[in-house]
Amino acid sequence: MDSKPRVVIVGAGFGGLTTARSIAGLPVQVTVVDRKNHHTFQPLLYQVATAGLSPGEIAAPIRWILRSRSNIEVLLEEVLDFNLDQKRVISKDQTLDYDYLILASGATHAYFGHPEWEPLAPGLKTIEDALEIRRRVLLAFELAERHGASGQGPMPLNFVVIGGGPTGVELAGTLAEIARHALKHEFRTIRPEQTRILLIEGSPKVLGTYSEELSQKAKEQLERLGVEVRTSHMVTRVEAGAVMVGEDRIPAQVVLWAAGVAASPLGRRLGVPVDRAGRVLVRPDLSIPGHPRVFVIGDLAALADESGKMLPGVAPVAIQQGEYVAKMIARDLERQPRRNFHYHDKGSLATIGRAAGVAQFGKIKLSGYFAWLAWLFIHIFFLIGFRNRLIVMIQWAWSYLTYERGARLITGSNDLPGWTEPRETDNTASRVDVREPVDVSDAASVGRTCDSRQGAGATVDQSSVEPI
């Protein structure tokens, strides 16, 4: 066993997990390291955030997924650094030697120089993020009801989603669905269907990477669901309980961030050139300059296709790159020359809400019910585990028929950042700020992003190389 090449894979997302599964048949010894014990199916995170599914239905333990591969060990570890000269991965508690390293640690949220916005406007990347969004959304309705019950009159609810990429669009559409249908008959002093849901996008259209026609259709479908779409609007400030859009101050009980991602900070630890979003500029075989046995794949890799367009930060890119790297390692072992990586774009899909979506497969464009159906089946097909596929299918069929959202649990604290409500003290109603507004110094416009799924910006161009 010890004489076999040691392959260390950092990250068990779409890219890392695919590499591990594809490489398992080779005479190699594999260690998969992830700081979480589970693989998350990120495309369905918004369903957890909007109480449609539970975390266990869209995530699975990495150890369980790889259980039948006896040459793969799984370690729960946070990787911190690398020593490429000594071929070592440095994690919190140990160092791991490798012959091949595959770095697939993905991406994280970017707040464009405003980390203080993060606690006020959570983004959606992990199960924890999804549960926090779910908590805030459900809590806002509860607090509004409590306010109404205290005799202070109805409390208008505003939810603001920043970023009109696929994540922002699916969040806004589903929030509208919850407010208009799922909660409609359950409250006594508020009318959830009157909740104002705003989607703010910096560029002139939502779903910026889709054709003009499909972007327009997506906007119309959102508006039909009751979402107010503001394109060409820049968010200049996020504060507790409000969002500044240009000079306009929009009160908001819940603010969600879908406007930007940055590459995992691990990319910069390799000491090779990265682009402005921190993605590693890989060679055509996905290895890094000067280290042919170190590969970077998925959201963390920056590579252009044949036409010079950067590959998008989507699951099929990560999956195909994972399969490719396994093949190149096999070729190395057989002393065959490597080939360049080519991405086969099979199309893109975005869901907007109930029976609403857009899809683009080459020249074929779909919108509405059929795009939504295609989205549904493709996502169920790619979910990990037969049990999860079955449960998700049943859950969706049920909520399609009944509008119910089965996972409406508020867990954790009952405080909502920015919530202001009257409290009875000494028989006098006084307004109490649950949290002080954050003073964000200068106004900065929402900027660029490396992920085609995020809104409010363009993809980072390839020329923006930042040498270390």
- Please choose, out of 211-219, 307-315, 329-337, 438-446, the segment that lies near ligand FAD by the rule CB under 6 A: 307-315
- Of the candidate residues 57, 201, 275, 299, the single one contacting ligand FAD (CB under 6 A): 299
Phi, psi (rounded to 5 degrees) for 135 = -60, -50
Structure tokens, 402: 């009944």
Closest to ligand FAD by CB, 104 vs 303, is: 104
Closest to ligand FAD by CB, 137 vs 314, is: 314
Interface with ligand FAD, residue 357, by CB under 6 A: no
- Of the candidate residues 106, 165, 418, 455, the single one contacting ligand FAD (CB under 6 A): 106
- Of the candidate residues 4, 21, 36, 63, the single one contacting ligand FAD (CB under 6 A): 36
- Please choose, out of 82-90, 183-191, 293-301, 421-429, the segment that lies near ligand FAD by the rule CB under 6 A: 293-301
Instruction: Please give the positions annotated as active site.
Output: 170
| Pair type for strands 227-230 and 196-200 | parallel
- Please choose, out of 114-122, 295-303, 415-423, 438-446, the segment that lies near ligand FAD by the rule CB under 6 A: 295-303
- Please choose, out of 102-110, 279-287, 335-343, 439-447, the segment that lies near ligand FAD by the rule CB under 6 A: 102-110
Structure tokens, 68: 């039948």
Structure tokens, 371: 């795009």
Q: Any bridge partners for residue 7, and if so which?
A: 30, 100
Closest to ligand FAD by CB, 241 vs 360, is: 360
| Residue 76 burial (10 A CB sphere; 0-12, 13-18, 19+) | middle
Distance CA 166, CA 349 (A): 9
Residue 248 has a CB neighbour count (10 Å cut-off) of 11
Diameter over CA atoms, the chain: 83
Instruction: Enter the DSSP assignment of 325.
Output: H
Interface with ligand FAD, residue 338, by CB under 6 A: no
Give residues 419-458 in contact with ligand FAD (rule: CB under 6 A).
Answer: 453
> What's the closest the beta carbon of residue 338 comes to ligand FAD, in angstroms?
21
Given a contact cutoff of 8 angstroms between Cβ atoms, the answer to whether 301 and 10 are in contact is: no
Sheet (strand 95-97) strand order: 79-83, 88-91, 95-97
Closest to ligand FAD by CB, 42 vs 399, is: 42
Residue 233 neighbours by CB under 8 Å, 6+ apart = 200, 201, 202, 245, 246
- Of the candidate residues 7, 8, 33, 254, the single one contacting ligand FAD (CB under 6 A): 33
Interface with ligand FAD, residue 13, by CB under 6 A: yes
Distance CA 368, CA 377 (A): 15
- Of the candidate residues 163, 313, 353, 455, the single one contacting ligand FAD (CB under 6 A): 313
Interface with ligand FAD, residue 278, by CB under 6 A: no
- Enclosing H/E stretch for 176: helix 166-177
Given a contact cutoff of 8 angstroms between Cβ atoms, the answer to whether 365 and 144 are in contact is: no
Interface with ligand FAD, residue 320, by CB under 6 A: no
Interface with ligand FAD, residue 262, by CB under 6 A: no
- Comparing CA positions, the residue from 456, 462, 80, 108 lying closest to residue 276 is 462
Interface with ligand FAD, residue 12, by CB under 6 A: yes
- Please choose, out of 5-13, 191-199, 208-216, 388-396, the segment that lies near ligand FAD by the rule CB under 6 A: 5-13
Instruction: Enter the DSSP assignment of 112.
Output: T
Closest to ligand FAD by CB, 36 vs 331, is: 36
Structure tokens, 360: 């683009």
Structure tokens, 63: 């150890």
| Pair type for strands 59-61 and 72-76 | unpaired
Given a contact cutoff of 8 angstroms between Cβ atoms, the answer to whether 61 and 67 are in contact is: no
> What's the closest the beta carbon of residue 109 comes to ligand FAD, in angstroms?
9
Residue keyed to tokens 């006896």:
70
Residue 447 has a CB neighbour count (10 Å cut-off) of 18
Interface with ligand FAD, residue 207, by CB under 6 A: no
- Comparing CA positions, the residue from 81, 83, 464, 84 lying closest to residue 274 is 464
Q: What is the torsional sign of CA 7, 11, 16, 21?
A: positive
Closest to ligand FAD by CB, 192 vs 357, is: 357
Closest to ligand FAD by CB, 43 vs 164, is: 43
Residues near ligand FAD (CB under 6 A), total: 34
Interface with ligand FAD, residue 314, by CB under 6 A: yes
Select the residue whose beta carbon is closest to ligand FAD and give its number.
13
- Of the candidate residues 178, 225, 315, 371, the single one contacting ligand FAD (CB under 6 A): 315
Distance CA 389, CA 381 (A): 7
- Please choose, out of 137-145, 236-244, 308-316, 338-346, the segment that lies near ligand FAD by the rule CB under 6 A: 308-316
Closest to ligand FAD by CB, 178 vs 450, is: 450
Interface with ligand FAD, residue 165, by CB under 6 A: no
Positions touching ligand FAD (CB under 6 A) are 10-16, 33-36, 42-43, 45-46, 78-79, 104-106, 124-125, 167, 264, 266, 298-300, 313-316, 318, 453
